[in-house]
Amino acid sequence: MIGIGFVYAVAGVVFAVFAASSLVERRWANGAFHALIALSFLAGDRLGDVGNGVLVLALVTIAASGRMRRSATPPPSVERGARVFVPALVIPAAALVGTLAFKRMPTLVDPKQATLVALAMGTMLALALGLVLLKARPAQAFAAGRGLIDDIGWAAIMPQMLASLGAVFALAGVGEVVGGLMGRAIPGGSVAGAVIAYAVGMALFTMVMGNAFAAFPVMAAAIGVPLLIHGAGADPAMVAALGMLAGFCGTLMTPMAANFNLVPAALLDLKDRYGVIRAQVPTALPLLAFNMLLLYVMTA
């Protein structure tokens, strides 16, 4: 059965190629950083909790050393034009079609990982299509990808790190503590109060932690499960989906989401390093309000 292991293997091979090419150019810090990420994807649980913990500490040490640098050789250019958008559109299309198709093939693809498997396959299909349309070589694709990762730097792994932090918070019982504090402020039986606390809490926690995946375990344990799902009888899938969307509104408004909001400003050489955030706030706030309204209507 094809599952999440397939996705990890694809990502691991890509980072292994990035590591090898960086080492060839004697960029030792970049090579070691990419090699450790490749190891985490390819070895996974076989490293054990202690092994993965040491790996993370090594990644942080390399990132904090300041020795990671961009390649002196720019990636080879290819003739682009409007054709470049075709592979980009193939990825979401393949993810959607693949998800629907794989749900009907439970013996072939793990139903719980159907979307991620479809996304990985769609990315591989888009890569192959891009090579044909743009008449490029595979080495050019990997060089361009490595250049992008070099530009992003250590911030590329922030989502994984923050998601892990959210899991640690959940295991430590932070959700129960937050739920106890908010439970005193929410009127008993008030669906509207629970909805507002859950959605706004998701946005605020995401702004603090930089990632909705880190905030979700905390807010789900604090409000989503006890008050909305068990208390109000809301659909768990709906609560989870709209809660994540509320968290993503917080992502649009925080510098903690450096890979989304600060790195683009640096790559585009914007004079205002927070210019991306300022441009996103007028979208984030109405979207957060709409998510709260939709969550209330579907729960009440």
42-56: pLDDT as tens digits: 998 888 888 888 998
pLDDT at 125: 94
Give the chain's length.
300
Between 218 and 170, the more confident residue is 218
**Whether the predicted pLDDT of 16 surpasses 80:** yes
pLDDT at 66: 82
Cβ neighbours of residue 196 closer than 8 Å, sequence gap 6 or more: 292
- Mean pLDDT score, 104-110: 85
pLDDT at 67: 85
pLDDT at 247: 93
**Whether the predicted pLDDT of 148 surpasses 90:** no
Least confident of 19-33, 164-178, 244-258: 164-178
**Whether the predicted pLDDT of 258 surpasses 80:** no
- Mean pLDDT score, 112-130: 91
CB count in 10 Å sphere of residue 46: 8
| DSSP E strands, 108-163 | none
Residue 271 backbone phi and psi in degrees, to 5: -65, -35
pLDDT at 80: 63
**Whether the predicted pLDDT of 134 surpasses 70:** yes
> What rounded mean pLDDT belongs to the chain?
86
**Whether the predicted pLDDT of 78 surpasses 70:** no
pLDDT at 74: 64
223: Cα within 13 Å, side-chain hemisphere: 29
Cβ neighbours of residue 262 closer than 8 Å, sequence gap 6 or more: 155, 255, 273, 274, 276
Beta bridge partners of 109: 2
215-246: pLDDT as tens digits: 888 888 888 888 899 988 899 989 999 999 99
3-state secondary structure of 249: helix
